[in-house]
Amino acid sequence: MSAFLKFATGMDWISEKLGKIAGYAVLAASLISAGNALIRYGLDFSSNAWLEIQWYLFAATVMLGAPVVLRFNEHVRVDIIYGKLKGYGPVYVDLFGLIFFLLPVMGLFTYLTWPFFWNMWVTGEMSGNIGGLIRWPAALLMPVGFAAMFLQGVSEIIKRIAYLRGLIEMDTHYEKPVQ
């Protein structure tokens, strides 16, 4: 179990670094958006590249930020039963969801998006817009993000099993979001 916990610790570290990149992507997208608006309305000049880079940065925010959200247990969940469970109940529900939903879906999405990215890389596909960008960087974010989410899911499974075995402490507190 020690090697698995080291893997989980390493994956948690990677997810946090990806989360930092996602945070910088939000900042960059905001600054580019503001600059683009100023230039467009102030100087009556625009470029499709500036619009597209915002989309790419948003893709980076979502795809690279999702694993750290899972790592901090802040992901979206159906709260009909989960919030009422006590003791090990939430941990078992998490394990079920991670094993039977998250891992298969993230594995499938990684598998399906890799050829999509590869085709764009090989062909050098460009945006159809005048002045648009190459598309493969945005397409690469999909298999990378889904794979990182898959690996973070494995990390979460390892931590929950270790917690159930009494090998680690884990904060299982869950607070229902204010609606």
Rg (Cα) of the chain, in Å, rounded? 20
The answer to whether position 55 is within a domain reads yes
Per-residue model confidence as pLDDT tens digits over 79-137 = 777 777 888 988 999 999 999 999 999 999 999 999 999 999 999 999 888 888 999 99
The answer to whether position 174 is within a domain reads no
> What pLDDT, on a 0 to 100 scale, did the predictor assign at position 86?
84
The answer to whether position 73 is within a domain reads yes
Residue 57 pLDDT more than 70?
A: yes
The answer to whether position 144 is within a domain reads yes
Q: Indicate whether this model's pTM tops 0.75.
A: yes
The answer to whether position 170 is within a domain reads no
Mean pLDDT of 52-64: 95
The answer to whether position 39 is within a domain reads yes
- The tally of domains found in the chain comes to 1
The answer to whether position 179 is within a domain reads no
Domain range for residue 138?
1-165
Q: Which residue has the higher pLDDT, 70 or 45?
A: 70
The answer to whether position 20 is within a domain reads yes
